[in-house]
């Protein structure tokens, strides 16, 4: 399907995915950091020692994207640091993640430089995350052009919007998973994969797909994480409510409304019992989440306080000032010849990126 589109690429998740996709087995299965470091020289690198395995994978993806999906406008968004404004809200945000390996860290800086040099706009800062820039780009331009978000990060699903034609191209762990989703949602209608025209391992999420796969509407994704949490970002959520979260949100809409209903019922023991009976008999929640939702403690973050803070952590910023017009992101600025120059500098064979026929 040929259409005008602005593709926003989550550079951080793409580069990290490319890095781990082609690591030597010795590093993949090493049990300690010291053991991994002993095998760093086996990571793909240029003659001067510059690590290139992640750059190789991402350049291959970018070249394919420009050739096959042909975006009219394109931007790349990156994380610069974990110490963003969210750490001010919650000191342990992303606290369970290990340090970024040096070979990957070095490629982040170089990848950003390469992307800018070949003609793309690259957005990042010390205060905000990649998804905050993606959200702000969507809000700035969604009324002008269909927006597509290329990412692995489910946080981006909160931006999907059928009314404004905002979709997410979600990268799956395997091509088989993308194919399963394609068969589930497209093949029934006789739509061919060629017509859908998606990058490898990618499935397109619309508002309807988000609802069917996640159990809530896109605008409720942050509420869902408010209750369920997110282990990848160390967002705590409310322990013991996970499976009930989508059901409660389908009924009440937001975390705030769930707690409004609870507090209203708590004024009368009879009404509180009626509420819990409603959850069990009408909503089908077998185990009441009331105690977990209302737990309080001086020692740990829990209950309503945890839910509200977790939702705030999961909510993308949509209003970062971006002093660039749509024309600044035109794909016409892309210089393929510059890509070839970088491949030469980094000792990456052209054929491995462009194919043997080019």
The predicted-structure confidence for 21-74, as pLDDT tens digits, reads as follows 989 999 999 999 999 999 999 999 999 999 999 999 999 999 999 999 999 999
Torsion of the alpha carbons at 315, 321, 325 and 326, rounded to the nearest 10: -10
Quickly state the pLDDT bin for 357 (edges 50, 70, 90).
very low
220-314: CATH topology = DNA polymerase; domain 1 (1.10.150)
Torsion of the alpha carbons at 94, 174, 241 and 237, rounded to the nearest 10: 10
User: Given a cut of 90, is residue 81 above it in pLDDT?
Assistant: no
pTM of the model: 0.94
Q: pLDDT digits over 84-97, tens only? A: 999 999 999 998 88
How many Å apart are CA 154 and CA 316, to the nearest integer?
12
Residue with tokens 């342990």: 92
Which ranges in the chain are annotated with CATH 3.40.50.1010? 6-152+163-205+325-354
How many Å apart are CA 337 and CA 284, to the nearest integer?
60
Whole-angstrom CA distances from 190 to 169, 203, 319, 348 are: 20, 16, 40, 40
pLDDT given at position 1: 40
Which ranges in the chain are annotated with CATH 1.10.150? 220-314
CATH 3.90.79.10 is right for the domain spanning 6-152+163-205+325-354: no
Quickly state the pLDDT bin for 356 (edges 50, 70, 90).
low
Beta pairing class for 121-123 and 202-205: unpaired
What is the number of helices (H) and of strands (E) in the chain? 18, 6
User: Given a cut of 70, is residue 318 above it in pLDDT?
Assistant: yes
Q: pLDDT digits over 146-192, tens only? A: 999 999 999 999 999 999 999 999 999 999 999 999 999 887 778 88
Residue with tokens 């059928």: 162
Select from 205, 96, 187, 212 the least CA-distant residue to 150.
205
């Amino acid at each position: 399907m040929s259409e005008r589109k602005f593709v926003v690429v989550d550079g951080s998740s793409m580069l990290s995915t490319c890095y781990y996709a082609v690591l030597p087995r010795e590093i993949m299965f090493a049990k300690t950091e010291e053991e991994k470091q002993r095998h760093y020289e086996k990571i793909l690198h240029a003659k001067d020692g510059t690590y290139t395995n992640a750059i190789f994978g991402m350049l291959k993806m970018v070249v394919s994207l420009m050739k096959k999906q042909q975006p009219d406008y394109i931007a790349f968004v990156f994380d610069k640091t974990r110490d963003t404004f969210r750490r001010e809200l919650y000191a342990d945000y992303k606290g369970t993640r290990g340090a970024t390996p040096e070979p990957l860290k070095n490629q982040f800086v170089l990848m950003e430089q390469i992307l800018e040099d070949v003609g793309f706009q690259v957005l990042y800062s010390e205060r905000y995350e990649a998804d905050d820039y993606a959200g702000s780009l969507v809000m700035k331009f969604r009324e002008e052009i269909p927006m597509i978000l290329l990412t692995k990060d489910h946080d981006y699903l909160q931006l999907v919007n059928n009314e404004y034609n905002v979709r997410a191209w979600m990268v799956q762990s395997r091509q088989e998973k993308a194919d399963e989703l394609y068969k589930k949602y497209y093949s029934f209608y006789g739509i061919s994969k060629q017509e859908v025209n998606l990058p490898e391992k990618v499935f397109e999420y619309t508002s309807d797909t988000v609802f069917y796969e996640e159990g809530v509407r896109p605008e409720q994704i942050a509420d869902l994480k408010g209750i369920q949490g997110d282990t990848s970002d160390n967002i705590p959520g409310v322990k013991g409510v996970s499976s009930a979260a989508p059901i409660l949100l389908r009924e009440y809409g937001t975390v705030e409304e769930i707690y409004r209903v609870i507090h209203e019922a708590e004024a009368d023991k009879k009404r509180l019992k009626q509420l819990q009976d409603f959850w069990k008999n009408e909503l089908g929640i077998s185990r009441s989440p009331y105690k977990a939702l209302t737990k309080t403690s001086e020692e740990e973050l829990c209950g309503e306080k945890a839910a509200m803070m977790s939702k705030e952590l999961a909510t993308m910023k949509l209003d970062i000032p971006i002093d660039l017009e749509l024309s600044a992101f035109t794909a016409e600025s892309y210089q393929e010849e510059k890509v070839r120059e970088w491949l030469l500098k980094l000792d990456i064979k052209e054929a491995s990126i462009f194919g043997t026929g080019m």
